[in-house]
Structures are given as structure tokens and as C-alpha cells.
Structure 1
Amino acid sequence: MDRSGGVTVNMLDCIAAETDRQDTRLNNAYKQTMASLNANRKKQLQEVQRLWIRYRDANCDFYADPNGGTIATVNSNSCYMEATAARATELENLREEY
């Protein structure tokens, strides 16, 4: 973000690149955690993950205020990135417990 120079399009590119990295991290952590669980726990985690995605999407979409100008898009995209990174960490930690 520091290299963006405060230019919105550069900020969005940076956020998108990091979101892609965090999404890959999240998917890997999810798959590895699922592989370590029994059938009942897999079903539970699958449902939790679906609910989490719905929450993340609704929460981050809220930041995309149509009257918020270009910063609203930056805030919304940052929300997706940060939430995805936090969930990846949570799943990585959960995986270590099993």
C-alpha cells in the first residue's frame, strides 16, 4: 500500500493482490483442516465456513457505501482482505489443534 502513492487504482491493485494471496492461504488451511477431521466435524466445519462466507460478504459489502466515493471501494476491499486473512489464521490454528 505504501507504494500506491495514495492513488486509488494502485491501492485497489495492491489490495486485490494481497486478497488473492490470503484467499489461497484460506483455501489451503480449510482443506488441511478438513482432512484432519472426522465425518461429523467435517460437516460442522463446512456449515460454519459457509456461514462465515455469508457474514464476511454481507459485512464487507456494507462498507461499499454508494455515497462513500472511491474510498468506500478501498474500505470494502480491505475488509475482504483482512477478514480472509483472519479466517485463514483461525483455520491454521484450528488445524494445529487436530
Structure 2
Amino acid sequence: MKERKNIWKGMMVGAALGAAFSFLMSKKEAKQERLSWPMRLKQWRQSVEEMAEDTAFIMEKLKEIAEKTPEVIQLVKELYNWKEDDRPRIK
């Protein structure tokens, strides 16, 4: 009979501790959610700025490629039109 009382007592203590822990964690999570919203906005803003910088860099490189393309096409045409005797030999 005494063992049953000890089991029930242990179950009640465990339930009370679980409820208290759950209550404290829910308060902590709610507080973190309130605090994290500005942080989320800050991180989002940083991501957008980084993407804008990356996009500007890529656009600059594409512009350089577009400017060089006619020169490269002309060079390839000239090399293609060389006679076989005039072509450089690769050792």
C-alpha cells in the first residue's frame, strides 16, 4: 500500500514539474518571438542588400562580356580563315 502512495506521489511531483517547465518554456519562447521579429527584419534587409550587391556585380560582368563578344567573334573568324600553313603550331 505504501508503494502505491509513493508511485502516486512521484507521478504528481513529476506532473507538477512538467507543467512548471512547460509554462516557463512557453513564456521564454513567446518572449523570444517578440524579440526576434526585429532581428528577422534586420537579417532580411541584410540578405536583400547582399543580393543587390551580387546582382550589380553580375550585371557588370555581363556588360563586360557583351562588350568583349564582338572582339572575340572577330578574332575567332580571323583564326578560322587562316591558311593551314599560317596557323601557329602547338608543341
- Structure number with larger C-alpha Rg: 2
TM-score (norm 1): 0.32
